[in-house]
Amino acid sequence: MSFKKDFIWGAATAAYQIEGAAGEDGRGLSVWDTCCKRPGFVRDGDTGNIACDHYHRYKEDVKLMKKIGLKAYRMSISWPRILPNGIGKINEKGLDFYDRLVDELLDNGITPYVTLFHWDYPQELFKKGGWLNPDSSDWFAEYTKVVVERLSDRVKHWMTLNEPQCFIGLGHSKGVHAPGLKLDLSDVLCASHNALLAHGKAVQTIRKYSKELCEIGYAPVGVVSFPDTQSKEDIEAARKATFDFDGPSLWNSSWWIDPAYLGSYPEEGLKVFEKWLPKIGADDMKTIFQPVDFLGLNIYRGPRVRMDQNGNPAKVKKNVGYDQTAIKWQITPETLYWGPKFFYERYQKPILITENGLSNTDWISLDGKVHDPQRIDFLNRYLREYKRAAQDGVDAKGYFCWSLMDNFEWAEGYNERFGLIYINYQTQERIIKDSGFWYKSVIENNGENL
């Protein structure tokens, strides 16, 4: 049994990670442009100034997408490329680029899935307080309106925010991602609330201004735990661990998803964060809780848990020498079964895997090709679990492999290769890896050969 007939097979990227052309055609600075200048912020001093030069090579890249057989492409828009100051004057050359890219995708039979924010926050708005500013959600709505008015005659699939756990948690609390802040938890929670308000206002804006019938979702990290055994106790422990709180940690799912999909913050989270909570306006939850069509989940890994003697979830110690990817993430295919299952049960929305993949030690072999059997094995294992979830009743909408091509991996620079396409950063040569051709066969068979 394969996936449903209209299952979406795609790959994903983010604007700052691939576009380059950082100072061209009127683009403004983002917080990542600024942080890349800080000594030691990005490994090896790498920047996104050139990246994969997708801004100039998008036609070549779309041809490669077609060669791989992609049905859909998850892309993001660079906010400061559209609005150099974050608000106000529109940069028409920036909009023109996305116009051309969308047309090129559609001309090649590839459906665009557009993410409005994938971390490249405008530097000029950061100077005004960024996500801490009470006007920040209105700024995002203004930006959303500009993009939707220009592209919604052709773009019908939208995502608001990508991984707020990262751009808020890692960017404003841990300080390891842009804008590189280590704020008090009260300020971090203020920023998180404003980001959720931005999601809600963006949904409202898309609904109001879209020129075509559209569908809208959101792409948080799917923070997943999975059961040690198939016992009812361990399954319940994994479910609890997936949605409950292990202290005042931002690395969870329910804090970020419940408000948008259920209309309220989780009670346990309100108790855990009580002394740091921002003032929540009377209509804030109504604003955040907007009708959405699917739930996007970025899932790569998660801990194994069991129920302890006191009826609480307990993490199972990792095996010595556990399987891991090049970026040292544990390989846990089970998360692509239990994650979709738990999230579908809780939120009752179709599940779209918006990111999944691995960093691998890829290089060009003597035969001129890039052989990456580990990636093929990894994707096969995870997709089999997702397929099993679909067979067990989960409304599995689609799958976007991360990533279409090797790219700028944030604080790790160019030291991690996640792509189905190899990028030689010295020459900008592109080579489809063995995994890209394998993925083509999976798409052609709608997953029957997994």
| Strands (E) located in 93-163 | 111-117, 157-162
Give pLDDT, residue 246.
Answer: 87
pLDDT on residue 147: 99
Q: Would you call 124 a catalytic residue per the annotation? A: no
163 is an active site residue: yes
Helix (H) or strand (E) holding 351: strand 351-355
pLDDT tens per residue across span 403-447:
999 999 999 999 999 999 999 999 999 999 999 999 999 999 999
pLDDT tens by residue, 216-251 = 999 999 999 999 999 999 999 999 999 999 899 999
- pLDDT value of position 265: 98
Asked if residue 1 is part of any domain, the answer here is no
Would the pLDDT of 1 be above 80? no
Give all strands (DSSP E) within 203-341, no chain letters.
215-219, 226-227, 295-298, 304-307, 313-315
Query: Binding site for substrate: which residues?
Result: 17, 118, 162, 300, 402, 409-410
Task: Give the pLDDT mean for 194-208.
Answer: 99
User: Within its chain, how far is the Cα of 340 from the centroid?
Assistant: 15
HSE-CB for 76 with a 13 A CA cutoff? 28
Give the total residue count for the chain.
Answer: 450
The answer, yes or no, to whether residue 2 has pLDDT greater than 80, is no
d(CA 79, CA 196): 17
- From the candidates 19, 104, 334, 355, which is the catalytic residue? 355
| Element housing 145 (H / E) | helix 136-151
Secondary structure of residue 426 in the 3-state scheme: coil
- Give the angle subtended at the CA of 96 by the CAs of 90 and 97, to the nearest 5°: 115
User: What average pLDDT does this structure show over 190-210?
Assistant: 99
The pLDDT assigned to 103 comes to 98
Question: What is the amino acid identity at position 35?
Answer: C
Can you tell me the distance from the alpha carbon of 211 to that of 208, in angstroms, rounded to the nearest whole number?
A: 9
Q: Characterize 261-277 residue by residue with b for buried, 16 or more Cβ atoms within 10 angstroms of its Cβ, and e for exposed.
A: beeebbeebeebbeeee
Q: What is the pLDDT of residues 278-322, one digit of tens each?
A: 999 999 999 999 999 999 999 999 999 999 999 999 999 999 999
Closest CA to 157 of 312, 349, 292, 274: 292
Q: Which of 19, 104, 163, 334 is catalytic?
A: 163
In a domain, residue 424? The reply is yes
Parent domain of 389: 8-444
N-term to C-term CA, the chain: 10
Are 407 and 50 contacting, i.e. CB atoms less than 8 angstroms apart?
no
Q: Has residue 108 been placed in a domain?
A: yes
408 within some domain: yes
pLDDT per residue over 107-160, tens digit each?
999 999 999 999 999 999 999 999 999 999 999 999 999 999 999 999 999 999
- Half-sphere exposure of residue 37: CA atoms within 13 angstroms, side-chain side: 6
Say yes or no to pLDDT of 172 above 80. Answer: yes
Q: Crossing angle for the helix pair 232-243 and 335-347, nearest 10 degrees? A: 70
pLDDT tens track for 386-402 = 999 999 999 999 999 99
- Pairing of the two strands 304-307 and 313-315: antiparallel
Residues 294 and 54: their CA atoms lie apart, in Å, by 28
In a domain, 34, yes or no: yes
pLDDT score for 112 = 99
What burial class does residue 425 get, using C-beta atoms within 10 Å of its C-beta: 0-12 exposed, 13-18 middle, 19+ buried?
A: middle
Mean pLDDT of 163-182: 98
- Residue 376 in any domain: the answer is yes
pTM for the predicted model, two decimal places? 0.98
> What is the H or E stretch that residue 71 is in?
none
Report the CATH number at residue 404. Answer: 3.20.20.80
Please enumerate, by residue number, every residue annotated as part of a binding site.
17, 118, 162, 300, 402, 409-410
Total domains, the chain: 1
Mean pLDDT of all residues in the chain? Answer: 98
Average of per-residue pLDDT across 34-45:
98
d(CA 198, CA 285): 12
Residue 427 CB-density burial (10 A; 0-12 exposed, 13-18 middle, 19+ buried)? exposed
Average pLDDT of the segment spanning 2-13? 96
449 part of a folded domain: no
Q: Do residues 163 and 298 make contact, with C-beta atoms less than 8 angstroms apart?
A: yes
* Strand arrangement, sheet containing 8-12: 215-219, 157-162, 111-117, 72-76, 8-12, 396-402, 351-355, 295-298
Which pLDDT band holds residue 34 (cuts at 50, 70, 90)?
Answer: very high
